[in-house]
Structure 1
């Protein structure tokens, strides 16, 4: 029964995903459809931010010196989200099929948590992908904790992302 409760929303969610109108992104049709899935997935789980906590729109983090109005329209926020995801796709393009999966994960947890920086080591997920081992479900789902405790809503988000964006 629990599996049905998880699979049904994923299937419904997939039905509402629409292909982008072709804006010269350089992605093939299938990749563009996956990109749209990624955008819709982030919107669904991220929710709307008003700027109180340095996030606006669909989870865009305000950078130092960035001057954006907290009264964004939905279209402006959508454009920001797409730009952020495309930047992350460039960062993770060396991972081939897993580029969108890693981009969406890094949108939530940060690129530095995956790639490492300074004192933070490279993640086991990235190490495994660099060894060409694509059995990454366990490592991907491990990004479900907040302050050391498993959060069920984050776990659901990771499972949905993996179901929508993982290419076997």
Structure 2
């Protein structure tokens, strides 16, 4: 009887072990799937994830973080997910174009500018040119620390912004 019980227990453990390996592999496959997307699509998905949906209480932001400009008539109340997606893509293309001269880093910089504003990177509106941009202009692409340093809000470091910067860098930095 004990021998039968032990055989059943070993069989059950083997099945559970294989099942756990398959589950871990599927999780890894899902995580790896984002790296099979083009970099622009990765930027869109990452931004949507961290921005999430903006309702009326987030005014002057709508959709997935679009800041309303003078004369725009978008409403968080009536905006559809499809409209918000199109608006996000338009915004990201605009910001990426601002950094086109940085080649493969333009998507990374455009995504950051969407969140913090281009003046904090390029200088202007009372901000000096960022160390990140100065390093890239000097030809130094060792920018991880400078990139993830953009994780402050109202002069305080925020863990979620740090998590966002690390995710953006992992997804969008091309070595």
Does the alignment reach a TM-score above 0.5?
yes
Q: Which residue of 1 aligns with 2:128?
A: 121
Which protein, 1 or 2, shows the higher relative CO under an 8 Å CA cutoff with sep ≥ 6?
Answer: 1
Hey, what's the Cα distance between the residues in 1 that align with 2:34 and 2:107? 19
1:123 Cα deviation from its structure 2 partner: 0.5
Q: Which residue of 2 aligns with 1:45?
A: 50
Identify unmatched segments of 5+ residues in structure 2.
Answer: 1-26
If the length of structure 1 is used for normalisation, what is the TM-score? 0.82
Q: Is 1:54–2:72 an aligned residue pair?
A: no
Over 3 Å counting, the alpha-carbon distance change for 1:125 and 1:44 in structure 2 is same
Higher helix share: 2
Select which of 21, 30, 33 maps to 1:15: 33
Over 3 Å counting, the alpha-carbon distance change for 1:11 and 1:115 in structure 2 is farther
Superposed CA RMSD in Å reads: 1.9
String of CA shifts for 1:2-36, please: whole Å, max 9, x gaps: xxxxxxx99745525775xxxxxxxxxxxxx1000
**Dislocated runs of 4+, deviation >3 Å:** 9-14, 16-19
Hey, what's the Cα distance between the residues in 2 that align with 1:66 and 1:10? 42
- The answer to whether the Cα contact below 8 Å between 1:18 and 1:36 also exists between their aligned partners in 2 is no
Greater radius of gyration (CA): 2
Worse overlay, 135-144 or 62-71: 62-71
